[in-house]
C-alpha cells in the first residue's frame, strides 16, 4: 500500500465502532495494523471527511492503535470551510513512551486554513494518549494522521 510516499504493510482488520458527532452518518469504518480510517457522510454534501491513521510499520499493537484512532476521531470537529474534494491535511506527531506527544506538525496542507487548523486541534484535544505498550521496543512512535475531504 502506498500513500504520501510512505510504504505501509497491509494487515488484518481490528476493532470496531467509533463515536460520530451528532448529525453525521457512518459511511465506512475500517481498522488495520498500519492504517485506521473512518469516512463519514454529511447530509447535502457530495464529498465527505475521512480520517486515516498510519503508524510506523514496526508498531504492531492493534488495541493501542484503535484507542489512538478513536480518541482523535472523537476530538475532530469538521469546520464550516472545507477544502476542495480530494484534498487532505496530513499531521505528523510523535507519541513518546509516556503517551505525551511532541513534534506535532502540519506535513501537508489541504488548501483550507480552517481544515488544517481543525486537524491540528483534533490532535491537541486528543493528547495525551496512553503510554506506549511495554512490548514496543522504541521510546516513541511516529504517527501520520490524514484528514481528507473526498468524494
Alpha-carbon gap, residue 49 to 40, rounded angstroms: 6
Residue 45 neighbours by CB under 8 Å, 6+ apart = 82
pLDDT of residue 90: 97
Taking the mean position of all CA atoms in its chain, how far away is CA 11?
Answer: 17
pLDDT on residue 11: 33
- Residue 69 pLDDT: 95
**Which pLDDT does position 6 carry in this prediction?**
36
Tell me the whole-structure pTM to 2 decimals.
Answer: 0.73
Structural domains present in the chain? 2-150 (3.30.1150)
At residue 35, the pLDDT reads 45
DSSP, res 130? P
The pLDDT of residue 26: 31
111: left (phi over 0), alpha (psi -120 to 50) or beta: left
Closest alpha carbon to 38 in 117, 95, 122: 122
Per-residue pLDDT in tens (0 to 9) along the chain, 151 residues:
334 343 333 332 333 333 334 333 333 333 333 445 554 445 555 688 999 999 999 999 999 999 999 999 999 999 999 999 999 999 999 999 999 999 999 999 999 999 999 999 999 999 999 999 999 999 999 999 999 998 7
- Any idea which residue has 502540519 for its cell? 106
Amino acid at each position: 500500500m502506498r500513500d504520501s510516499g510512505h510504504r505501509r504493510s497491509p494487515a488484518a482488520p481490528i476493532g470496531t465502532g467509533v463515536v460520530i458527532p451528532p448529525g453525521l452518518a457512518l459511511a465506512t469504518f475500517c481498522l488495520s495494523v498500519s492504517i485506521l480510517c473512518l469516512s463519514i457522510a454529511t447530509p447535502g454534501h457530495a464529498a465527505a471527511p475521512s480520517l486515516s491513521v498510519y503508524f510506523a510499520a514496526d508498531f504492531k499493537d492493534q488495541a493501542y492503535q484503535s484507542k489512538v484512532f478513536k480518541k482523535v476521531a472523537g476530538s475532530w470537529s469538521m469546520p464550516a470551510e472545507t477544502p476542495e474534494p480530494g484534498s487532505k491535511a496530513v499531521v505528523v506527531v510523535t507519541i513518546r513512551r509516556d503517551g505525551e506527544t511532541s513534534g506535532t506538525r502540519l506535513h501537508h496542507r489541504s488548501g483550507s486554513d480552517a481544515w488544517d487548523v481543525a486537524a491540528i486541534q483534533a490532535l491537541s484535544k486528543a493528547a495525551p494518549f496512553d503510554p506506549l505498550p511495554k512490548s514496543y521496543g522504541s521510546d516513541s512512535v511516529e504517527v501520520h494522521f490524514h484528514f481528507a475531504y473526498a468524494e
